[in-house]
Structure formats: structure tokens, C-alpha cells
Copies of this chain bind each other. A is one copy, B any other.
Amino acid sequence: MPTEARSREKESRPRDPPPIGLRERKRTRTRLMIQAEALRLFAAHGYAETTIEAIAEAAAISPRTFFRYFPSKEDVVLWDEYDPRLGELIEARPADEPPIESIRALIRETLSGLQRRDREQLLARVRLLSSVPELRARFFEAQSGGAKMISAALAPRPNLPDERQLRLTAAALSAVVTDAIGQWDEDDGKTDLIRLFDASVDDLIAGMRQLHSDATPTR
């Protein structure tokens, strides 16, 4: 669930080695705290019915400060602390792995990490994503952005035909993730997310096999 980064360059500009880690860590802790309070209120009273002011009060901060940690109300649902790690994960992939398999592996790792800790909270977020249209929309956006980022990072030679193929496959796998999450939500998180994802990938493979590849032009 990668969140868009608007103008975060300043924060990641590593000027002083010691404070950067510490400061960033502190920010992450605050973000987690705010998110926890927000999700609690959303579950109790609903997303639309919970105002920023209420969240701020619950988190013992001012409304103004809320927006310093999350650019919008939606982002408090979208954000998770593993987003920024994506870069490291990509670089950790073996160089000789086929890029498309790398994408699948990255997705599985991310899903697995998300599921492992905060399973309850993840379920709460997923429920919101499923039920609130604006959040669902933002989630699609984030997925798409993540797919684009991954495919760009893995494309050996940018702007060649290969990159489009990689990008499309990544987008398709993102759609599979979304669908798997939807299924996970529908059975209340009882099934393992990875299992749902794997099965859905197989289904998509089977589905795509039924499409012949020499398409005839329209009309």
C-alpha cells in the first residue's frame, strides 16, 4: 500500500547521520499513534462521521498538527509504516531473477509483512477501503503508483518495449492484489492473504490463456 510522496524530499535529505534516524523514528511513532486513534474512531462511529478535530482530540494533538503528519484524512487509512521500505526490498532482489518473478515476490513479501503484525488493524483498514468509495479510489491510485514504481525500478533498459510489458504485468498483479484483499475482507480475514493472492494469480493466468493474442481490429 504505497502512499504518494508529495514533497518529502526534504525529510529524506540526510544531512546529519545521527538525528535523521532518530527524528524519523519519532515521527513514525507519532504517525502510528494518530493512525491507531483514527482507526478506532472510524470503527466506532464511521469514517465520514469522524472529524479531524475528533481524531486530533483523541490523539492529544491539534488539528493543525494532524495535517503535518498526514496530508489528508484519507492518508491516515492508506499509510503504513512499510511503504518506505519498498526501495530496500527491491534492491534486495537477486540480479538474475526474472523481473516479473521479482514483482510477484515483492508483493508476496509485502503482503506477508503486513499480515504478520497488526492483523487486526490491517483488517480494519481493509474494511474501510472496501466500504468508503473515496478511500477505495485512493487505494487504487496508490496501487497503481506502486506498480509503476516497481516496474520502473526493475526495467533493465527503460523506454524499451520490455518496459511496457513489465509495467502492464505489474499493473495486472496489482489488480490481483486488490481482488485478493477484497476476498480477504469478505471472509473476515480467516484465510491467509498470501494463499488468496497465489490462487488469484493462477486464476488470472488461466483467464489470460483464453485470450488469443492475434487480435483482429475493430470493425
A92 cross-chain contacts in B, Cβ below 8 A: none
* A133 at interface, CB cutoff 8 A: yes
Surface stretch bound by B, among A28-36, A83-91, A158-166: A158-166
Contact A165 B215 (CB under 8 A): no
Please determine whether B169 and A207 come into contact, CB atoms closer than 8 angstroms. Answer: yes
Partner of A133, one of B4, B172, B207: B4
Judge if A217 is at the interface, Cβ distance under 8 Å. yes
Q: Across the interface, do B140 and A203 meet the contact criterion of CB distance under 8 Å?
A: no
Judged by a CB distance under 8 angstroms, whether A95 is at the interface is: no
Q: Is the CB of B104 within 8 A of A168?
A: no
Across-interface contacts of A140 in B (CB, < 8 A): 137, 140-141, 144
B144 touches A178 (CB 8 A): yes
By the criterion CB–CB under 8 Å, are B200 and A164 in contact? yes
The reply to whether A100 and B211 contact each other, CB–CB distance below 8 Å, is: yes
Tallying the copies of this chain within the complex gives 4
Contact residues, A117-171 vs B (CB, 8 A): 133, 136-138, 140-141, 144, 161, 164-169, 171
Q: Which residues of B contact A200 (CB under 8 A)?
A: 164, 168
CA distance A74 to B161 in the complex (A): 33
Q: How far, in angstroms, from A52 to B76 measured CA to CA in the complex?
A: 27
- Contacting pair B205 A172 (CB below 8 A): no
CA distance A210 to B102 in the complex (A): 11
A164: chain B residues at CB < 8 Å are 179, 183, 200, 203
Given contacts A101-B211, A194-B217, contact A203 B144 (CB under 8 A): no
With the chains together, A178 CA to B145 CA distance in Å? Answer: 12
In the complex, the answer to whether A168 meets B176 with C-beta atoms within 8 Å is: yes
- Can you give 14 A-B contacts (C-beta < 8 A)? A98-B210, A100-B210, A100-B211, A108-B218, A133-B141, A137-B137, A144-B178, A164-B179, A169-B208, A169-B211, A171-B176, A172-B204, A198-B215, A201-B215
Q: A100-B211, A168-B207 are in contact. List 4 more A-B contacts (CB 8 A).
A: A161-B203, A175-B175, A194-B218, A205-B208
